[in-house]
Structure 1
Amino acid sequence: MWEGRDSFDEVRAKYDAVNEDNCAIKHVADLKLPEDTVSHLPDIKEVNINPVFPNRTALLHLHNMALNRAFFFSYILQSRFHRPAINATYDPGMMYFFLSTIADVAANPKINSSGVYFSPEMAYTPSYK
């Protein structure tokens, strides 16, 4: 007996509808999958309660790295504006922020750095001057 269509078939149809020829003209909504496509997303608050599936450890690591970066930038930028600037040349510039982010992303084997820096197969951004 043939089975009816289910959620997997809907996701597969959206996935197969996009190719290299029509990707540029597709609407943004057609390029995104529903949020419930990935089940059992790891939650850092429940890491010792709920098991983390082996194929979800990269998501957990990415989440931890994003929180680490957010805390780092928040601390650096807030401390910059809460203390008097005796000499502005001692403050970290954009290159410091840029290189520290590159170091974190490049050290993570589960992140495609070319997707982060907007340049195919490269680990730099052409927008930085």
Structure 2
Amino acid sequence: MTRPKKDEQTVRSNSIHIRMNDTEYELLQERANAVNMSIAEFIRNALDNQQVTIKYELVADVPEIKKLIGEFGKIGSNLNQIARYFNQGGIISAEMRGEIKKCIRDIYEMKYEVMKMAGDFRGSD
């Protein structure tokens, strides 16, 4: 007498092949053994019972963002020049103090512009 055929829904006709290093494979094998399952059963069970977090990466080619990136670069250059001046023993002057305050003000203004843009992209006000 032959074995009865399996229901079409339970027949596993697809296979997946993945590569693992020895450590990954041993970890998988240990976890499967800990719950008395074969590796295949363990993976299928994990697929059914695990919540997968999907991450999206948005790439925006917006002229305003490119402009802000350029501005950040200029401000960073100015701050590097100021740091170099002080590291070489420079004395703070009213002009230097004013330049530092201007850089900080520019950074805060740009921060708010970026936050506004991010809100626009998310659909916030």
More RCO (CA 8 Å, sep 6+): 2
Q: Which has the larger radius of gyration?
A: 2
Larger proportion of helix: 2
When normalised by structure 1's length, the TM-score is: 0.34
When normalised by structure 2's length, the TM-score is: 0.34
